[in-house]
């Protein structure tokens, strides 16, 4: 929850929208249409848990239909409510537009705490929720395509897919009804790491941006930069691990449900994750000390703070105590609009959620394309590319008279696998979107923060979609 007298999550998103919209020349009616949440389906259904029936509250919000299908995850959390799914669905619209994923925004939520249910019960709830979506025409490869979010993963997506095919037998593109599926069930390699990997690429772009780094007194580059992470779920884990292995960054604090730990020497995320799986907790991880409250991770002295849990974590009441130079919003909506005003005043750089965590939906888009094409990426060209590269290397050997080593040869003469293409497409997406955001900031002196610039990029793209449709001539 936001602190007392703070705007709700949806209000925060609307406030950020208004700040950016005021800096555009787009027609008022068009902006109003983009801003509103088009449809919200609120449902309640019974599920038999043990000997008793439980009434489950759930939602699916579709924020914008300017492009179809609509797209966005499904979250399982006790905190799910209508305001939250509407906020999250809105963010999906802007996120997709920003990174050129041709979908409208949506989000679903089931108001349950997954840890209180057995796997069998979760399966029952997921299948029933899917049935409700089918009944109201709120799911389908060309209609609305869910994906994982907080509290869900590949397992839940497999149940959704299976339930869908039961009802829609013979639908040739059925696999495209949901993304984030297991690789063995029409999923794509690289989807589970995608959001975290995208977070790393986004952080890397910002840390290599000299004018921005000069403004906060940091040198450029990722190596050696200190990081604090809130949340070691799918996003936090992969983001932390890749920042550490590929960016050579130092993770000094991690917070999870059970508490927070700190180490000046750095925490090995892979080892920490294994430790947590074994012991059920991050606490007492060798070489770390415990912070007295889990929220203290947000306040440690560090270069980059990665909130990778839920919304409304940086608020009016703690914003002044945040010492990080860069806030990397891996979660959706971790900063309230009030906190943002305080942080921007202090000069903190906020890498906005709609950009930073767009890697997930980007690779979901690749998965959806794979499903529609009914073929793995790389299958057609891999062997052809390998043979071409090999011919080039052989020619060089012949012309120079110098043999290329066997290892080097196999490294050069390698065609791309699905995972290589997915990572390359993701990196390209994150780099291009960042360039677009920075171009707006360079051209428009009044735009001084990354979120407003990201909004403007997204609004311009969505508006031109509407204008091209002739809806607003």
Among 60, 63, 67, 71, indicate the residue that binds ligand GLU (CB under 6 A).
71
Among 98, 134, 147, 255, indicate the residue that binds ligand GLU (CB under 6 A).
147
* Complex with ligand GLU: residue 149 or 268, whichever CB lies closer: 149
* Complex with ligand GLU: residue 222 or 234, whichever CB lies closer: 234
Instruction: Tell me the closest approach of the beta carbon of residue 25 to ligand GLU, in angstroms.
Output: 29
Instruction: Tell me the closest approach of the beta carbon of residue 354 to ligand GLU, in angstroms.
Output: 9
* Complex with ligand GLU: residue 233 or 259, whichever CB lies closer: 233
* Complex with ligand GLU: residue 235 or 272, whichever CB lies closer: 235
Residues 6+ apart with CB under 8 A from 149: 72, 73, 74, 75, 88, 107, 108
CA–CA separation, 164 vs 130, rounded Å?
7
Contact (Cβ atoms closer than 8 angstroms) between residue 257 and residue 244: no
Residue with tokens 């707006």: 440
Q: Which residues belong to the active site? A: 107
Among 14, 64, 72, 105, indicate the residue that binds ligand GLU (CB under 6 A).
72
307 near ligand GLU (CB under 6 A):
no
Q: Which residue's Cβ lies closest to ligand GLU?
A: 73
Here's the x/- map for ligand GLU, 17-46, by CB under 6 A: it reads as: ------------------------------
Instruction: Tell me the closest approach of the beta carbon of residue 388 to ligand GLU, in angstroms.
Output: 34
Instruction: Tell me the closest approach of the beta carbon of residue 364 to ligand GLU, in angstroms.
Output: 3
CA–CA separation, 264 vs 458, rounded Å?
39
Q: Name which of residues 347 to 406 contact ligand GLU (CB under 6 A).
A: 357, 360-361, 364
149 near ligand GLU (CB under 6 A):
yes
Instruction: Tell me the closest approach of the beta carbon of residue 319 to ligand GLU, in angstroms.
Output: 23
Residue 45: C-alpha distances to residues 77, 139, 158, 162 (Å): 16, 17, 21, 20
Q: Which two tokens stand for residue 33?
A: 């249409």
| Residues found near ligand GLU in the complex (CB under 6 A) | 71-73, 147, 149, 179, 332, 357, 360-361, 364
């Amino acid at each position: 929850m936001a602190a007392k007298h703070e705007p709700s999550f949806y209000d925060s998103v609307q406030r950020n929208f208004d700040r950016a919209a005021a800096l555009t020349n787009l027609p008022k009616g068009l902006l109003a249409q983009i801003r509103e949440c088009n449809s919200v389906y609120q449902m309640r259904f019974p599920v038999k848990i043990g000997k008793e029936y439980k009434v489950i509250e759930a939602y699916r919000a579709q924020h914008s239909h300017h492009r179809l299908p609509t797209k966005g995850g499904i979250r399982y959390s006790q905190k799910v409510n209508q305001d939250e799914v509407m906020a999250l669905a809105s963010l999906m619209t802007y996120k997709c537009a920003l990174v050129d994923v041709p979908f409208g925004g949506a989000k679903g939520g089931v108001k349950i705490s997954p840890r209180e249910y057995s796997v069998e019960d979760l399966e029952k709830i997921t299948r029933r929720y899917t049935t409700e979506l089918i009944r109201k025409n709120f799911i389908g490869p060309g209609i609305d395509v869910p994906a994982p979010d907080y509290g869900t993963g590949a397992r839940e997506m497999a149940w959704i897919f299976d339930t869908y095919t039961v009802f829609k037998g013979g639908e040739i593109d059925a696999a495209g009804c949901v993304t984030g599926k297991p690789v063995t069930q029409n999923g794509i390699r690289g989807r589970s790491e995608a959001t975290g990997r995208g977070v790393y690429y986004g952080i890397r772009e910002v840390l290599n941006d000299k004018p921005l780094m000069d403004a906060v007194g940091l040198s450029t580059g990722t190596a050696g930069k200190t990081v604090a992470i809130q949340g070691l779920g799918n996003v936090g884990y992969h983001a932390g691990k890749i920042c550490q292995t590929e960016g050579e960054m130092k993770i000094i604090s991690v917070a999870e449900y059970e508490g927070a730990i700190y180490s000046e020497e750095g925490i090995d995320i892979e080892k920490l994750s294994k430790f947590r799986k074994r012991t059920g907790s991050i606490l007492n991880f060798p070489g770390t000390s415990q912070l007295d409250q889990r929220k203290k991770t947000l306040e440690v002295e560090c270069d980059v703070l990665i909130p990778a849990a839920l919304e409304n974590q940086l608020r009016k009441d703690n914003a002044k105590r945040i010492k990080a130079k860069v806030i990397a919003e891996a979660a959706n909506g971790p900063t309230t609009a009030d906190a943002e005003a305080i942080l921007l005043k202090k000069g903190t750089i906020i890498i906005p959620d709609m950009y930073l965590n767009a890697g997930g939906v980007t690779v979901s888009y690749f998965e959806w394309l794979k499903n529609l094409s009914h073929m793995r990426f790389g299958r057609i060209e891999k062997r052809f590319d390998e043979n071409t590269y090999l011919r080039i290397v052989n020619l060089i050997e012949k012309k120079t008279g110098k043999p290329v080593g066997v290892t080097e040869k196999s490294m050069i003469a390698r065609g791309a696998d699905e995972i290589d293409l997915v990572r390359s497409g993701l990196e390209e997406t994150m780099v291009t979107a960042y360039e677009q955001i920075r171009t707006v900031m360079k051209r428009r002196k009044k735009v001084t923060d990354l979120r407003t610039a990201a909004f403007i990029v997204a609004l311009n793209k969505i508006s031109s979609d509407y204008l091209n449709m002739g809806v607003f001539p």
